[in-house]
Amino acid sequence: MLIIDAPRFRVTNAVLKGARVLGRLLLGVETSQPNVAAARPLLTPEQFQEELAILGFSGREFGPEEYSEALGNYLGISIAIYIIPDAHYPELARRLASAGRLAELRYSEELGIAAIIVPGSLPPLVLALTILHELGHLAAGDHLIEPSRESQREDLHKHDRETAFATSRISRGNRLARALPLAEESLREQEANLRASYALVAGCLGIESPYAHEMYNIL
């Protein structure tokens, strides 16, 4: 789950919004609507491999901590992972479990801080994948989606094609993924799951990953 603390007013945001309004008025362009070219399929392992190369992890073994650190450096934000000891706070784990959630990602645009809060009682595999899942949201740029666009999810989804899904517009900020974040929340969750599983496997295989080898075997 992603919670964003966006600043109430910013000059850059206001200028961008103003430009969009002007674009609509002068050119008749409805900028808030996605175009068909913005549709894309879900992340592939090959695309994830490119992301790993950018972070310097292609062909290297790594864990969630290293991935988090490298991602934070690349995005220019500070990412903190809090593993809550359930023995001391059993109510937190119970609340998350009852709500059907495993973790929480909080992002403050103003402070440039992302915090991942995870109960320590999760099984080890789930814990690793949950942390990587939340990091996957940051890598995809889901935290940059403008809150005002959230309400248009349903309309955006109508533009779906067979395997391509509509993307969402984002505010200014760094993201690791090449493509824009997906418009529909359930698809963003699905993609974050994929990113987590790609990361876990790539981090374990290191140089033995066939995708890492593919990057050296292009002809």
Partner 1 sequence: MSVAQHQHLVLGGVSFVAFVVFVCLIPFSRRTWFSEFAALNLLLATLMFGSVTVLDFSGWRAEVLAALLTELPVVSVVSWVCLAQAGHLPVRREALPIEPVACRPRLGIVLKTAPLFLLLAWVLAAVIGLAWPSPAMQAYAPAPPEFVLFKWTMMAAEGFYSSIAALVFAVAARSTALDLRLRLKNLTFCTGMLCIALIALVSASFAGVRLWVSSESRRTVLEALLTLETYLAAICLFSFAFGLALRYTPIISGTLLRQIHSGWLLAQERFESLTWRAITSGRVRGAIRASHHIAEAADLQGLSDSDAEKALAAVQLVAVMQNPGTDIEHITPETARELYELQEEILNDEALASKIGWTTRWRPHTHEIQTISSAPLHDALEVALDLVDYHDEQPDNRPRPLWHHLVAVSVADVGLVDPARVRARLGHQPEHRMALDTYGAVKSELRSRTLNDRETTSQDGWRVK
Asked if 93 contacts 86 with a C-beta cutoff of 8 angstroms, the reply is yes
- Asked if 125 is part of the footprint of partner 1 (rule: CB under 8 A), the reply reads yes
Alpha carbon distance, N-terminus to C-terminus of the chain: 42
Binding residue for partner 1, selected from 32, 78, 108, 193, defined by CB under 8 A: 193
- Asked if 75 is part of the footprint of partner 1 (rule: CB under 8 A), the reply reads no
Q: Quick one: which segment of 1-9, 22-30, 46-54, 72-80 binds partner 1 (CB under 8 A)? A: 46-54
Mention every residue, 6+ apart, whose C-beta is less than 8 A from residue 29: 23
- Asked if 219 is part of the footprint of partner 1 (rule: CB under 8 A), the reply reads yes
- Asked if 200 is part of the footprint of partner 1 (rule: CB under 8 A), the reply reads yes
- Asked if 98 is part of the footprint of partner 1 (rule: CB under 8 A), the reply reads yes
Rounded Cα–Cα distance for residues 215 and 195 (Å): 19
Asked if 30 contacts 24 with a C-beta cutoff of 8 angstroms, the reply is yes
Rounded Cα–Cα distance for residues 216 and 211 (Å): 9
Asked if 132 contacts 199 with a C-beta cutoff of 8 angstroms, the reply is yes
- Asked if 115 is part of the footprint of partner 1 (rule: CB under 8 A), the reply reads no
> 6 or 92, CB closer to partner 1?
92
> 110 or 214, CB closer to partner 1?
214
For the CA atoms of 123, 69, 172, 184, the dihedral, rounded to the nearest 10 degrees, stands at -20
Binding residue for partner 1, selected from 56, 80, 148, 186, defined by CB under 8 A: 56
Binding residue for partner 1, selected from 71, 79, 105, 127, defined by CB under 8 A: 127
Rounded Cα–Cα distance for residues 88 and 13 (Å): 42
Residues that bind partner 1 (CB under 8 A): 44-46, 49-50, 53-54, 56, 58-60, 63-64, 83, 85-86, 93-94, 96-98, 100, 102, 119-130, 193-194, 197-198, 200-201, 204-219
